[in-house]
Structure 1
Amino acid sequence: MMSEAKYAVRYCSKTGNTKKLAEQIAATLGCKAETVDHSIQSKADILFLGCSVYWGGIDPVIKNFIQNLDAKYVKKIVVFSTSALAERAYPGIQRLLKEKEICVSEDNFYCRGEFKFLHKGKPDAQDLKDVSIFARKFLEE
């Protein structure tokens, strides 16, 4: 009998956009979405890690979380992100995780997030449906 995969969802969200995605992923996987203030202290086959991209790049809180990750607890990381202007957080996070020798899925999720007058209502119902479909793919791994 195969053991059941264990998932974890961690995120950093200043405006609530990434939090919406994190909560949808967690609901799809049957786990809890927590901020990166909650470290990973038990084994996770897949950690879904979410953040936004800001003008200055990846938030220092995410960088600190990655620096403190222990490869013995996490087999693989899947990145999801939002932003109003800059594109995906994936390349920057991938570089940081390679230094930690933690496997990063090449498959990642990105959508626009609402910021001031830009992208009103994003992530919207379609984005939440899309991120749920995205997360379900990992249930089959």
Structure 2
Amino acid sequence: MKIAVRYYSRSGSTKKLADAVAQAVGVTAQTTDQPLAEPVDLLFVGGAPYVGSQLDGHLREFLHRLTYEQVKQIAVFSTSNWKMSIYNQTHRALRDDRIQIVDRGYMGRGALGVINQAHPTPEECADAADYARKTVARLSNG
């Protein structure tokens, strides 16, 4: 199974989770500034819901450009002060409805100004890595 990890992070919280997810599945996490170099079976996408539960424009535009020829399935992970998923926002941003989002994803806390600056914690990073390994195992066996 060919896997990639892309993320957008303003404060660094999502980057921490992206690095944990990528290490767990044996790839390098890259920002959404880096297009996919080759097609993948599974793309882990990380971000945060911002004001009004919207994705940052960088992440939204990256998702909007994806095609089924590039990505078959997406697994999301997100950071938020309120542990909100970016599942719905990701679904709305995709223009190619053949791309499947595999589940609601992993949700961890992120920093919001001076609130939750310690997040994601090492335990949350470990949980995100576990989510990634289990997702790959489930999809590989399914």
TM > 0.5 between the two? yes
Structure 2 unaligned runs (5+)?
Answer: none
Q: Do structure 1's residue 54 and structure 2's residue 54 form an aligned pair?
A: no
Shift of 1:85: 4.1
Distance in 2 between the 1:54 and 1:30 partners? 29
Shift of 1:96: 2.4
Structure 2 equivalent of residue 100 of structure 1: 96
Number of equivalent positions: 136
Structure 2 equivalent of residue 117 of structure 1: 114
Shift of 1:90: 1.3
In the TM superposition, what whole-angstrom CA distance separates every residue of 1:75-122 from its partner, at most 9, and x where no partner exists? 10001111124722111112222x312111124011110122211300
Structure 2 equivalent of residue 133 of structure 1: 130
Q: Which amino acid counterpart does residue 60 of structure 1 have in structure 2?
A: G
SS of corresponding position for 1:50: strand
Q: Do structure 1's residue 15 and structure 2's residue 11 form an aligned pair?
A: yes
TM-score, normalised relative to structure 1: 0.90
Q: Which amino acid counterpart does residue 45 of structure 1 have in structure 2?
A: D
Alignment RMSD: 1.4
Structure 1 unaligned runs (5+)?
Answer: none
Distance in 1 between the 2:92 and 2:101 partners? 10
Structure 2 equivalent of residue 45 of structure 1: 41
After TM superposition, what 4+ stretches of structure 1 lie above 4 angstroms from structure 2? none
In the TM superposition, what whole-angstrom CA distance separates every residue of 1:54-94 from its partner, at most 9, and x where no partner exists? 11411111111012112101110001111124722111112
TM-score, normalised relative to structure 2: 0.89
Asked if 2 retains the 8 angstrom alpha-carbon contact of 1:39 and 1:69, the reply is no
Q: Which amino acid counterpart does residue 64 of structure 1 have in structure 2?
A: E
Asked if 2 retains the 8 angstrom alpha-carbon contact of 1:84 and 1:113, the reply is yes
Q: Do structure 1's residue 80 and structure 2's residue 77 form an aligned pair?
A: yes
Distance in 2 between the 1:86 and 1:135 partners? 17
SS of corresponding position for 1:63: helix
Distance in 2 between the 1:85 and 1:107 partners? 15
In the TM superposition, what whole-angstrom CA distance separates every residue of 1:16-45 from its partner, at most 9, and x where no partner exists? 000000000110111010000011131111
Distance in 1 between the 2:32 and 2:117 partners? 26
SS of corresponding position for 2:33: coil
Distance in 1 between the 2:21 and 2:83 partners? 22
